[in-house]
Structure 1
Amino acid sequence: MTFDKGGPGHQGVSVDAFLAAAALEPLPLEDDPTARLLGLVPDADIVLNRTAIKSARARSGLSVSDVAQRLTELGWDTRTSEVLQWELRGSADIVPARVTALAVVLNQPVEAITMPVPEDARMSAVQSTEQFAGLVRRWAQLFDTTLRAAEVALTSRMATAVHRGEIPDPARTLKTMEALVDELEKRQPQ
């Protein structure tokens, strides 16, 4: 069946074509070029600089809850506990657009509140294992997110330890990451 509401030379849309288009699955977020352009895909190459965020917030006279409230007003639903976590541990699983909003709230350039994720052979050794890949899949399922976002989230947990100067061996890191995911799975309602 074809709907044709136009005049001569106008071609209508068939019901079959319309239904087929509606059934298309959207691209995964990390593969969506529009999402990438809008800064909605986590960037594994940057991490929030916890000390820079805390210093900038203090200099601006804002409380942790003020920062959360202003981010929420800018359209980024943010809890006070999230801002506190950024100050205590940093984060690599925050999307660039949200980092930009945080920089605006703190009146800082993005570069002043971020830093590159350190390249460390031990982190690479962990990330290249099948065990880590399994943890990424479990994290993605647990938080209903993409594999790429899950990988960024888990990598940020490892990067946080590296930024504190605590670089455990890969086996110990994997064991710790496994314990974290196990515990989070236990807390999920059945």
Structure 2
Amino acid sequence: MSDPRPTRILFRRLAILAGFVAVLWLVQTVNWATGYSLNPAFGLIPRHAAGLDGIAGMPLLHGGFAHLASNTPPLLIMGALLALTATRALFTVNAIIILLGGALVWLFGSSAIHVGASGLVFGWFGFLVTRGLVDRSPVTLAAALVVGVLYGAMIWGVLPGQPGVSWEAHLFGAVAGAAAAIAIRTHVHAPRTRAVDRR
């Protein structure tokens, strides 16, 4: 008899992911309606005490609808890949990516207001690639790399030189994701195509 729990867990994770993206669009609408007043109030401002709350606020804020629209597909696809392949501890993994990645941007980022969820996407990318290497999971590793290439050339996104792009958030997000993969012993695996018969 097949165990329904993995399916329920997957659907719950996907529902949380969809809800998170919906919240981003709601926040963006409020931000737009208020003349983007949320960005200076809650964005990450490196080496300023007033910008510390931006460590948590940065992934929720965007510079415009086009910015959020460009982040939405990789959020959904990379997030779904993470939900499908990681076995546990996703809350802790995300906390490390947000807190460590944001703290590194606050310490070493350029003098600007840093906003956007792309640091989280790069964190998931770094986590999946590192866990794929550690767990020797070629399917997961290959899938993460394909998504990275298709959406915004992730490998190049960690390099400076793109005006208006927080490459520091990309770089430190990926670093934080790799650190989470090493620190948290959650395995990744290829998506299962059939249920396990437990007797």
TM-score by length of 2: 0.28
Flag the structure with higher strand content: 1
Larger Rg: 1
TM-score by length of 1: 0.29
Asked which structure has the greater RCO (Cα within 8 Å, sep 6+), the reply is 2
